[in-house]
Amino acid sequence: MILVNEDDRDLLIKGLEIGIDEYLMTPLDTNELIARLHALRHQTLRDARCVPVCGKTFLPLLTIV
């Protein structure tokens, strides 16, 4: 995720070209940030692959406090 000033479209384009998949425009809206983090967490859970480690299975999670 990248924070971009709405006047700096070149930075946003460069970020997208190198693989970022989320961005927020500044000035930052806290409610939008929280909503995007929740959406990212749901996507992570949906796309998660279980990782076996020492006989136990771990699911990669994104914790939002």
Q: What distance lies between CA 39 and its chain's CA centroid?
A: 8
Q: Is residue 51 assigned to a domain?
A: yes
What is the span of the domain harbouring residue 31?
Answer: 2-58
Q: Is residue 24 assigned to a domain?
A: yes
pTM > 0.75: no
Q: How many domains does the chain have?
A: 1
User: What's the per-residue H, E or C state across the chain?
Assistant: CEEEECCCHHHHHHHHHHCCCCEEEECCCHHHHHHHHHHHHHHHHHHCCCEEECCEEECCCCCCC
Q: In this model, does residue 6 exceed pLDDT 60? A: yes
Q: In this model, does residue 64 exceed pLDDT 50? A: no
Q: Is residue 38 assigned to a domain?
A: yes
pLDDT of residue 54: 62
Q: Is residue 28 assigned to a domain?
A: yes
pLDDT tens digit string along 11-63? 888 988 998 888 888 888 889 888 988 888 877 776 666 555 565 555 555 44
Q: Are strands 56-58 and 51-53 parallel, antiparallel or unpaired?
A: antiparallel
